Amino acid sequence: MTTTDRPDADLVDGVLAALADPTRRELLDVLSGRGQATATTIAAELPVSRQAVVKHLAVLDTAGLVESTKVGREVRFSVRPEALDTTARWMAALAADWDRRLGRIKRLAEAAEAAARDA
Amino acid sequence: MTTTDRPDADLVDGVLAALADPTRRELLDVLSGRGQATATTIAAELPVSRQAVVKHLAVLDTAGLVESTKVGREVRFSVRPEALDTTARWMAALAADWDRRLGRIKRLAEAAEAAARDA
DNA sequence: CCGATGTGCAACTGTCATGTTGCACACCAC
DNA sequence: GTGGTGTGCAACATGACAGTTGCACATCGG
């Protein structure tokens, strides 16, 4: 069960890449707090230009972390938890996998030590 | 409960930044499979040089995802699940938070619609 | 129709991370 | 000691990305 074998590898890849940027995480905080917001609105609360926000939102959209709706001449964005949830589960499974393997290694080491004692 | 308020913000930041790189994730797969490995050993299984692996391991070490032990003239690395587990929990909590807020927004919207119907 | 506001697109710059190569140094076995 | 193997350090090229600015286009209110 390696990382790349999992079917949602692409999804996880996108989410991790998106969340790696602190500005994007802050942006998501603002957005999740408002429920709905446009790029212009969000930019007013962040130390970056509107265009920077637009680009970040594009990345987040590709990653499936936000969705957009056109209302008249403005585009309202909102948060989408599914991809985040999937990635969280992936990560928890990976951590459990590491734990399992470490336990196995440890048992093997102990067995080898016991064998060495007997020799 | 915003993202940056959480006490392990630095830890999460490091882990996310580290896991954002596909090569590092592949490296971690190799390492978790072997239990123990040196930079040279890992580089033999990846399409990058030993020096590249060394740099990646440095990042992973800073993020708390691996630990190193000097044995003679070689440095053996192994995986460390704690930081990964913490980040997984952080992410699950964030997803739950988004869900909660979306539910609240939805209820407010329905209430507003009902009020508009009455008017 | 017309000014105002919001959005989309494109070019440009600076910066940072990845990956490489070359060399010096430390350690193990014989 | 000596050759081989493993590691550390430094300089360098390069590619990706964040962020900015400027301008064109669409849309709403009066």
Q: Is the model's pLDDT at A67 over the cut of 50?
A: yes
| Option in B4, B99, B101 nearest A35 (CB) | B101
> What pLDDT does A3 receive?
46
Smallest CA–CA distance from A92 into chain B, residue: B88
Q: Which residues contact A48 (CB under 8 A, 6 or more apart)?
A: A23
3-state secondary structure of A74: strand
d(CA B111, CA A64): 28
> What pLDDT does A1 receive?
52
Beta bridge partners of B78: B67
pLDDT class of B111 with cuts at 50, 70, 90: confident
Mean pLDDT of chain B: 90
Smallest CA–CA distance from A84 into chain B, residue: B95
**From its phi and psi, is residue B64 left (phi > 0), alpha (psi between -120 and 50) or beta?**
left
> What pLDDT does B116 receive?
61
Q: In the complex, which nucleotide's C1' lies nearest to the CA atom of residue A55?
A: D18
CB–CB of B101 and A13 under 8 A? no
Domains of chain B (ranges; CATH) run 3-118 (1.10.10.10)
Cα distances (angstroms) measured from residue B34 to each of A63, A72, A86, A102, B46: 31, 57, 27, 10, 14
> What pLDDT does A114 receive?
73
Mean pLDDT over A5-11 rounds to 73
Mean pLDDT over B11-39 rounds to 96
Query: pLDDT per residue over B71-98, tens digit each?
Result: 999 999 999 999 999 999 999 999 999 9
Q: How far is B84 from chain A (nearest CA, A)?
A: 6
CB–CB of A98 and B25 under 8 A? no
> What pLDDT does B80 receive?
97
Which residues on chain A place their C-beta less than 8 Å from a C-beta of chain B?
A: 2-4, 13, 16-17, 19-20, 22, 25-26, 28-29, 32-33, 35-36, 78-81, 84-85, 87-89, 91-92, 94-95, 97-99, 101-102, 105
> What pLDDT does A76 receive?
97
Q: Is the model's pLDDT at A116 over the cut of 80?
A: no
pTM of this structure: 0.88
Mean pLDDT over B63-75 rounds to 95
The rounded percent of chain B whose pLDDT value lies above 90 is 77
Nucleic strand C under 7 Å from the C-beta of A73 = yes
